[in-house]
Amino acid sequence: MIAKGIYNAGLQLYKAGVHLAAMAGKTKARHWLEGRQHWASRMREVGIGSQPVVWIHAASLGEFEQGRPVLEAIRAAWPSYKILLTFFSPSGYEVRKDYKGADFVYYLPLDTPGNARQFLDIVQPALAIFIKYEFWYHYLTALHTRNIPTLLVSGIFRKDQVFFKGHGGMFRQLLQQLTHIFVQNDISLQLLQGIGLKNSSISGDTRFDRVFALLSEHTTLPVIESFAAGSRLLVAGSTWPEDEKVLSGWWKEKTATDVKLVIAPHEIHDSHIQAIIALFPEAVKYSEWQTGATANVLIIDNIGMLTALYRYATIAYVGGGLAKGGIHNILEPAVYSKPVIIGPEFQKYFEAIELVAAGGALVIHNEDELHLALEMLFRDNEAYAKAAAIAGNYVATHTGATQKVLHYIQENRFLSKE
């Protein structure tokens, strides 16, 4: 099959590119390679497969957080099963490799026929769950061949994806082989039904369940409490250079004197942190903060605290929307009833479309629009309260996807209570 040959060649080219990046000193590439070394022997050494296993795969950190409610619900409902969590990306694995909710955490070996066969020989999962996407041909085909129930959770589909193109037959076959596809919205369901798939249903997005659970976690961040004391706080999360540039322009022109800024960039490598400091010379890094410091700009130079950080915000700016890649997770600040500001690249994210339409999120295209949006929210208490209430209510009314997935697993008896 020509398509399969192109797919396999593409994966090998990707691996070669990672090798070159690692040789050039790229940390992520080095982690990607080193984390997969001797994977089979390491898995055998810890006894994966000696007890019943549920395998849950997430591409990266965002997909892990999305699937986390399902993982934790399965652990609670079927405690006799071990949980194997795999990641494709270092930005997921390196942050969650010590996650206590799973029994085993590994990188997913590259998708080759041999790796897929050996991986399943070792793991022998009773159930496999993929979060949102990651349609690895050889793994999904091997799971289907072995009659292992395989679910896609919180799937989201768009008409421009390969599944709905004339040349997408190989990938349509993968969707057909999945035991069930839980999608986030009606548009996705209609697209799947349009290509003849009947193994799908709307569950909603498990991210709503995950972020809603944040309300009861009450994680405290003493440095942020010290930094923000007595001030209103704009938390800019998952920012890219395009975001930081417009934030810098607003910061120089802002009129409110009781406002402080926290920037949590998407990339925290040193060159990016230094570029932010060049825009905000008075900024202090989180790792260097000392109680009593007088800085008004704080740069978060670590990964993993953003979900708790939004709790302290007065207003949240979620980055990515001024770049081609698109916005990051707007539900994390919205659950705390924080008005959200985003850039215009959000059309791939139905929750952003809905929250903007409802009035819980504001869209800006440039520095001037950011200035107007922030001035309005900081000055107009009524407008602020309305946007905040809409944001919090939006999340609260969209929970429940996890229970739909759990009910399906129970109803089909994929896992045993014994």
State the DSSP string of 245-281: HHHHHHHHH---SSEEEEEEES--SHHHHHHHHHH-T
Report the alpha-carbon distance of residue 27 to residue 18 in Å, rounded.
10
Q: Are 189 and 165 in contact (CB under 8 A)?
A: no
- The CA distance from 342 to 121, in Å, is 45
Q: What is the DSSP letter of 197?
A: -
Paired residues of 86 in beta bridges = 57, 106
Query: 3-class SS at 24?
Result: coil
Average pLDDT, the chain: 94
Radius of gyration of the chain (CA): 22
The most confident of the ranges 177-181, 214-218, 219-223, 257-261 is 177-181
Phi, psi of 98 (to 5 degrees): -105, 15
Summarised one tens digit per residue, pLDDT across range 329-376 is 999 999 999 999 999 999 888 899 999 999 999 999 999 999 999 999
Which pLDDT score is estimated for 256?
A: 79
In the three-class reduction of DSSP (H, G, I as helix; E, B as strand; rest coil), residue 235 is classed as strand
The pair of three-digit structure tokens given for residue 184, joined into one six-digit string: 């986030």
- For 119, the token pair is 């991986």
Tally of CB atoms within 10 A around 339: 28
Q: Which of 224-228, 247-251, 321-325 has the lowest mean pLDDT?
A: 321-325
pLDDT digits (tens, 9 = 90+) for 189-246: 999 999 999 999 999 999 999 999 988 888 899 999 999 988 999 999 999 999 999 9
Strand partners, 83: 54
What helix, strand, coil percent values describe the chain, rounded to 5?
A: 50, 15, 35
CA 291 centroid distance within chain: 32
Residue with the larger pLDDT of the pair 22 and 358: 358
Instruction: Give the Cα separation of 39 and 58 in Å (integer).
Output: 17
pLDDT at 206: 95
Residues 306 and 61: their CA atoms lie apart, in Å, by 12
Higher pLDDT, 402 or 254: 402
Per DSSP, the three-state class of 127 is strand
- Between the ranges 119-128, 168-177, 301-310, where is the mean pLDDT highest? 119-128
Query: How far apart are the C-alpha atoms of 323 and 195, rounded to whole Å?
Result: 32
Cross-strand partners of 127 = 54
Question: What's the first-to-final CA gap in the chain, in angstroms?
Answer: 43
> Is it the case that residue 395 has pLDDT exceeding 90?
yes
Are both 35-204+400-411 and 219-396 of the same fold? yes
Homologous superfamily assigned to 219-396: Glycogen Phosphorylase B; (3.40.50.2000)
Q: Kind and range of the H or E element at 342?
A: strand 340-342
| pLDDT tens per residue, range 30-75 | 999 999 999 999 999 999 989 999 999 999 988 999 999 999 999 9
Band (418; pLDDT cuts 50, 70, 90)? low
Kindly state the greatest CA–CA separation across the chain.
66
Hey, where are the domains in the chain? 35-204+400-411, 219-396
Of 42, 396, 407, 39, give the one whose Cα is nearest residue 216.
Answer: 396
| Domain 35-204+400-411 class, CATH top level | alpha beta
